[in-house]
Amino acid sequence: MQVSRLELTDFRNYERLEFTPGAGLNVLVGPNAQGKTNVLEALYTLATTKSHRTSRDTELVRFGAPLARVTAEVQKLGEITSDLELAIGAGGVGTSGKLVKLGGSKQPRLTDLLGHLNAVLFASTDLDIVRGEPDERRRFLNYEISQLSPRYALALAAYRKALEGRNRLLKDFKHGHGDVASLEAWTGPVVEHGAKLIERRQAWLERLTALAAPIHEALTGGLETLHVGYIASFPLTEASIPEAFVAALKAARREETARGVTTLGPQRDDLTFRIGPPGGMLLDARTYGSQGQQRTVALALRLAERQLIEETIGEPPIVLLDDVLSDLDESRRNQIFALSLSGGQTFLTTTDLAPIPLDAVKNARVVTVRQGV
Ligand code: ATP
Ligand code: MG
């Protein structure tokens, strides 16, 4: 997969950018605060419909401009080139304020953009997946599964809507005027879509872990292995997930009405990353891992994700490396170059060309970024 052309209009600090990337490594070099990450953010937003840096879309629109536009020409194996366009701030799709065009024609849903461009982003904030709060890990799951599965994204949107409705009613209960029949009416879709999310997360995670464990072992020179676990907010018993969810909600009814909020479900689930010598005792990387160990887990997850996408779609996704070189030692830096450059297009930001292996720079397209130009 390859982005053969990228155009930005009023996106962040770009009034207008027309960029024809190379098929291999693209290096965006320049001093701080010039707009290097903004280019990666535009590509990532096109792949996932959401920025990795902010949930407030208006931040993506250049100060004083009415809307931002990201357009890309994407070439996939065996397919004719597709034109993707995402307008932000246009108020076109529901309440999201984003509008999608494919091949020049308007699409009814934002999720119609998913699956046309796949990207794996490595950023120094990836450390938060390992050591941050549970919502960082849920965001990781939601973003990364959505970009492979528009059905997951649709289930997520439906779940959020149902959860909001159910929580509204629970709040009524808390204030003494709830209606049981309406609560049941919201519980149905909460269970239906929530169970789908949990099932898909578990299936995706199983595949990711199978890839991440050997990568993690290779990164640590065989010294450590990685186990990833899914921690559901209610016991996943022998029963099917919907049945277990219904039973758990029933048991939690008193607490839920007292607190006025749904206390169980995928919005409360978490992941664990446990590391240790192969066959030996495992420690929770979040609480016991050193910064270096946490970084290695995050790197293994991203490298595994790249491989998982390649296995799923049959070609490598684009790889976005945002300022990660300075965080890595030389051997890991080389690993990242070896793996991400084994075919496929890469975009890398850096303030300095020195840490990039010479043979990688030689074949790269290097562009200097200055004040949004
Ligand atoms: P660093 O090396 O520090 O990571 P960078 O080149 O990656 O820098 P970016 O994050 O891409 O920097 O761009 C930051 C610049 O973009 C800042 O100067 C910021 O003021 C500007 N900027 C961010 N959002 C907007 C916006 N909506 N409108 C105009 N300018 C913006
Ligand atoms: Mg940056």
The pLDDT confidence band at residue 97, using thresholds 50, 70 and 90, is confident
> 92 pLDDT exceeds 90?
no
6 pairs with which residues across the strands? 19, 72
**Residue nearest atom 14 in ligand 1 by C-alpha distance:** 33
Is 287 annotated to bind a ligand? Reply is no
Nearest to 41 by CA among 22, 30, 28: 28
Tokens of 199: 């099932």
| Contact in structure between 294 and 275 (CB atoms under 8 Å) | no
Q: Is 296 in the pocket of ligand 1 (CB under 6 A)?
A: no
Is 32 annotated to bind a ligand? Reply is yes
Q: Is 51 in the pocket of ligand 1 (CB under 6 A)?
A: no
Q: What is the pLDDT averaged over residues 123-151?
A: 95
278-310 confidence digits (pLDDT tens)? 899 999 999 999 999 999 999 999 999 999 999
Is 33 annotated to bind a ligand? Reply is yes
Report how far apart, in Å, the C-alpha atoms of 74 and of each of 39, 113, 180 are. Answer: 16, 12, 50
Q: Is 35 in the pocket of ligand 1 (CB under 6 A)?
A: yes
The amino acid that residue 204 corresponds to is W
> 94 pLDDT exceeds 60?
no
Q: Is 34 in the pocket of ligand 1 (CB under 6 A)?
A: yes
What is the number of other CB atoms lying within 10 angstroms of the CB of residue 125?
15
- How much is the pLDDT for 129? 97
Ligand nearest to the CA of 34: 1
| CA 163 – CA 169 distance, rounded (Å) | 10
**Mean per-residue pLDDT of the chain:** 93
* Nearest atom of ligand 1 to the alpha carbon of 351: 2
| CA 84 – CA 71 distance, rounded (Å) | 6
| CA 162 – CA 268 distance, rounded (Å) | 15
**Residue nearest atom 9 in ligand 1 by C-alpha distance:** 35
- How much is the pLDDT for 311? 95
| CA 296 – CA 307 distance, rounded (Å) | 16
- How much is the pLDDT for 90? 55
* Nearest atom of ligand 1 to the alpha carbon of 40: 11
- How much is the pLDDT for 163? 98
Report how far apart, in Å, the C-alpha atoms of 342 and of each of 84, 217, 221, 320, 354 are. Answer: 26, 20, 20, 14, 21
| CA 49 – CA 125 distance, rounded (Å) | 19
The pLDDT confidence band at residue 96, using thresholds 50, 70 and 90, is low
Q: What is the pLDDT averaged over residues 42-68?
A: 94
199-251 confidence digits (pLDDT tens)? 999 999 999 999 999 999 999 999 999 999 999 999 987 889 999 999 999 99
Q: Is 38 in the pocket of ligand 1 (CB under 6 A)?
A: yes
ipTM: 0.99
* Nearest atom of ligand 1 to the alpha carbon of 34: 6
Is 354 annotated to bind a ligand? Reply is no
Is 31 annotated to bind a ligand? Reply is yes
Structure pTM? 0.92
> 326 pLDDT exceeds 90?
no
**Residue nearest atom 3 in ligand 1 by C-alpha distance:** 32
| CA 132 – CA 126 distance, rounded (Å) | 9
Q: Is 196 in the pocket of ligand 1 (CB under 6 A)?
A: no
* Cα 37 to ligand 1 centre (Å): 7
104-135 confidence digits (pLDDT tens)? 999 999 999 999 999 999 998 999 999 999 99
| CA 355 – CA 359 distance, rounded (Å) | 12
| CA 37 – CA 54 distance, rounded (Å) | 13
89 pairs with which residues across the strands? none
% of the chain exceeding 90 in pLDDT? 81
The pLDDT confidence band at residue 91, using thresholds 50, 70 and 90, is low
Q: Is 53 in the pocket of ligand 1 (CB under 6 A)?
A: no
Residue 120, Ramachandran bin (φ over 0: left; ψ between -120 and 50: alpha; else beta): beta
> 138 pLDDT exceeds 80?
yes
The pLDDT confidence band at residue 338, using thresholds 50, 70 and 90, is confident
**Residue of 11, 16, 38 to mutate, ligand 1, most atoms within 8 A of C-beta:** 38
The pLDDT confidence band at residue 355, using thresholds 50, 70 and 90, is confident
Tokens of 177: 């005027």
- How much is the pLDDT for 340? 62
Return the DSSP state at 355: T
* Cα 350 to ligand 2 centre (Å): 8
Q: Is 172 in the pocket of ligand 1 (CB under 6 A)?
A: no
* Cα 37 to ligand 2 centre (Å): 4
How far does Cα 332 stand from its chain's mean position?
22
Is 161 annotated to bind a ligand? Reply is no
* Nearest atom of ligand 1 to the alpha carbon of 62: 28
Tokens of 14: 């770009």
The pLDDT confidence band at residue 33, using thresholds 50, 70 and 90, is very high
* Nearest atom of ligand 1 to the alpha carbon of 30: 6
Nearest to 19 by CA among 245, 123, 11: 11
Domains of the chain in start order, with CATH, are 1-118+317-373 (3.40.50.300), 129-313 (1.20.1050.90)
* Cα 33 to ligand 2 centre (Å): 7
- In the chain, DSSP assigns E strands to 2-11, 14-19, 25-29, 68-75, 82-93, 98-102, 105-106, 119-123, 225-231, 270-276, 283-284, 318-322, 346-350, 365-368
CA dihedral 339, 343, 348, 352 (to 10 degrees): 80
302-316 confidence digits (pLDDT tens)? 999 999 999 999 999
| CA 326 – CA 337 distance, rounded (Å) | 14
| CA 326 – CA 263 distance, rounded (Å) | 41
What is the number of other CB atoms lying within 10 angstroms of the CB of residue 80?
7
Q: Which residue, chain included where needed, has tokens 């029933």? A: 250
